[in-house]
Structure 1
Amino acid sequence: MKTNAIILTFLGLLAPTVFSSPAEVDVAASCGSLGVMNVNTSDLPAGVDPNNIRTCADHPVGSAHEVLEKRDCEYGAPVGCSGGYCWKQCGDEGSGQWCWTANNGGYGDWIKCSTSSQCNTNMACGIGDCSACGCSC
């Protein structure tokens, strides 16, 4: 009987730890200077999954790039891999404009790569409230 009492006491002490909900993540703090992705899900185009929208708005490489220098135009290739992320040319042909690519119609996670062969022109440009998003140079 003493053994049962000890086990029940031990379980009683563990219960708040085991059954409590996980601590909420501070999204703004986790995104930092990348900013939080704010999207009105009722305005999403067809085919975009509202459950797969990225948490942070800005591109990890793009935001650092803009601080250092203006985005250079790219005339050499229609797609590429830079800093571990895919990009593609966009806009008027020959303009050199390009964008970072993202899954889920441009609203999802940034598309990662290790070589340019993993990137293609069918990938969507990143969309959202993002200073590095969009087609420009």
Structure 2
Amino acid sequence: MLFLNIVQLLALGASGVSASPSDIDECGTGGLYSVDISTLPEGVNPNGLRKCAEHPVANTTIAALEKRDCYYGAKPYGCTDGFCWKKCSTNGGGQWCWTAANGGFGDWIKCSSDDQCNAFQACGLGECQACGCSC
């Protein structure tokens, strides 16, 4: 485990991001979010990238064991487990995503009610397995 932490820290240092062992532990099995800042789309603030790759709900034991269900409801967005989500398309495919600030590369958007979310929020992007459009 210590070896893995050291390798992750070295990799992050190469990408210009600094992290402590407690950051690595906080992110769980999803690991730290790393992205080559030279590949970020225009308008994305490299100082506003999230710390962890996976969505916090995906890091829970229950969520990790369940298949991510499709959503066929009428609402185009909402708040679940304290985080905003939105439908990915209007074609009725059931795909949805967790939303994130900073063009999808920043912190996961938190909420306490559906009205704090909207369909214009960006889907979470990057190496996250549970954030982008899927079901």
The TM-score with structure 1 as length reference comes to: 0.77
Partner of 2:26: 30
Which ranges of 4 or more aligned residues in structure 1 deviate by more than 4 Å?
none
Whole-Å Cα distance in 1 between the matches of residues 98 and 117 of structure 2? 11
CA shift at 1:34, angstroms? Answer: 3.0
Partner of 1:69: 66
2:112 to 111, 114, 136: 114
How big is the alpha-carbon RMSD for the aligned residues of Structure 1 and Structure 2? 1.5
The residue type paired with residue 37 of structure 2 is T
Whole-Å Cα distance in 1 between the matches of residues 51 and 82 of structure 2? 19
Partner of 2:39: 43
Return 111-120 or 57-66, whichever deviates more.
Answer: 57-66
* Identical positions, percent: 57
Q: Could you list the runs of 5+ residues in structure 1 that have no partner in the other structure?
A: 1-23
The residue type paired with residue 64 of structure 2 is V
The aligned runs of 1:1-137 (5 Å cut-off) are: 25-26=20-21, 27-64=23-60, 66-76=63-73, 77-91=75-89, 93-137=91-135
CA shift at 1:131, angstroms? Answer: 1.1
CA shift at 1:69, angstroms? Answer: 1.2
The TM-score with structure 2 as length reference comes to: 0.78
Whole-Å Cα distance in 1 between the matches of residues 58 and 88 of structure 2? 16
Q: Could you list the runs of 5+ residues in structure 2 that have no partner in the other structure?
A: 1-18
Aligned length: 114
Secondary structure of the 1:67 match is: helix
8 Å CA contact 1:34, 1:60 repeated in 2? no
8 Å CA contact 2:28, 2:59 repeated in 1? no
CA shift at 1:133, angstroms? Answer: 2.0
The residue type paired with residue 131 of structure 2 is C
CA shift at 1:67, angstroms? Answer: 1.8
Whole-Å Cα distance in 2 between the matches of residues 79 and 98 of structure 1? 9
8 Å CA contact 1:63, 1:132 repeated in 2? no
The residue type paired with residue 28 of structure 2 is G
